[in-house]
Structure 1
Amino acid sequence: MIEIAALRALVAVEQQGSVVAASEAMGFSPSAVSQQIKKLEKQSGVTVLERHGRGVLLTDRGMALAEYGRRILGELEELQSTLLADPAKPSGVLRLVAFSTACRGLVGPMLARVAASSPSGRGGDGPRRGGDGPGLEIRVVAEDPREAVQAVASGESDLGVVHNWHSVPLVIPENMVHEDLCMDTADVLLNADHPLAGRTAVEPSDLVDESWISTPAGAICNEALLAILAGLGRVPDIRIYDPDFSTHIAMVQMGVAVALVPRLGRPELPAGVVAVPVVNPMQQRQVGIVYRKTMTASPSIRHVVRLLREVAAGLDA
């Protein structure tokens, strides 16, 4: 009889592309994953992997078995998250992945609400144990949206908070559900002494000669910045690359660059830094949540999604 753990190892190798990557995703050693693959080959009577240079490739039968394995694991996940779960009591471990500003602006406040509902939490005059609700444990990892989508699609995470700039579409795999959560607007941050700092709004044509600080090349927010001037046939003069928006704000305060920074999770701007909206077009990103279709009716997923919506509604207000 084929064991579920062995099937899970094969599916992870197929999704991650190697035994080493699969072991990292599963939290096991490479030798443990290899042992599960060997066990699967013995149980099924077929060779599922073959060496290719320093790596491995799935055989034709291995690909077929992985496809069956994905379906079986999906049905098992759906069974565990719905029929075997108490809809009135979200429980278990929920692995959440979100981009950094969403961690500050949405996930943090959501965790506070979960903690407030925990019997183990303290009253309003004392600390609460963050992330634990009644039987529900939430673990959070910060990743950019593309990596977050991949983590949820492959089963490494259960729920993702992602963003989708209108100018840089985010591709959602067919095995996943995407729900809109809120709209987030980005402003250009300027030093208070900058000639444009007194404007109520600026257009892309006003920004063609500026020196910028940006998130790293290839990041979605970097691509959104490039798109601002694309219609003018120009490329932003990016002098500094840094993934942390706090650094962007500091550089603007020092007067060495301007920056495009979303409002979600943005700290209070220090003296000397001014936020000016960009119009024609307005710079906005749609913030949403993603999860696998097999988790649609999961009490834990629905509970956390509901809390995230409450936090987002408060931001809109």
Structure 2
Amino acid sequence: MITGMQGLDRITQLFIRRLLPGLLCCLLGSGVRAEPVLMVLSDFGPSYNQVHDAVLKTAQQPPTVTTLDQLTPADSHRDIILAVGSRACEQMLNRYNPDTRLICSFLPSTTFEQLKQQLLPEQAQPQVSAIYIDQPLLRQIRLARLVKPDAKTLGSALGSNSRSLRSDLESGSRDAGLKLQLAYLSPQDNPVEKLTPVIQSSDLFLVIPDSSVFNRAISKWLLYLSLRHQVPVIGFSENYTNAGAAASVHSSPSQIGQQAGEWLNRLQAGETLPPPSHPAYFDVSINPVAARTLKLQLSSGEALEQALLHIEAGH
């Protein structure tokens, strides 16, 4: 016969063995939370604010937000850091901690690669990735082919910041069945003298985002020459389209922020850091006046965007 004390002992032992661990997990789970992601903004300009807002809208666990002038030494040791813009990326690479997973976003691919080579030359496999602001060259080339399906020759120009893209430009043109006409520009060159023969011998001209080549003045000359010689220009921003490019493919700050927020969700769900990537989301804009002048049959930017998505999906 079990006495009252023996029964109480058995109940106590049962509580310790079966119930107490689960209760402790619940208590600890409610009191201990994962360290929040740190989002570092280059500044609070309109574009950065759009990235910021899209990240907060998309991320399941909103990150802590700071700017470069508010950084503390402890910030470099966060588990996950999202740097928005070139300046923020440079600062976080300068302070890089090998245990941190760092995502640089909203910056050109060439800038990211240069910063990484300069600031992490000894790191064999740093946990660093990026979401670029520029489009993959193949996407731009495919848009060029859609704009003028009967084109045979694609012209373009590279500067000091974009020379590393030559092989990708050559292979992308070849895959699209286009012969590449390429010019190299330096600050000392006369851009009109360099660009004119390329435009004259091309059916299309692709603008590569490179500030060492295409500043505002050179871009105006390029667009003038293209209209004069009836060669459509494919740009990389809506501003280029508005200025006279036949069409451009580009990603907005909000689209970059959405992708960054999705990456944060993946990391916090236990997935590995994705490799450096071009934008997953994009828009296509067209200039109807330029299209009519160049005798192009373009329906709409949305139709071209859907055609690109269809091609990229492999259909």
Fold match by TM threshold 0.5: no
- Answer 1 or 2: which has greater helix percent: 2
Using CA pairs below 8 Å that are at least 6 residues apart, which structure has the higher relative contact order? 1
TM value normalised by structure 2 = 0.32
More strand by share: 1
The TM-score with structure 1 as length reference comes to 0.32
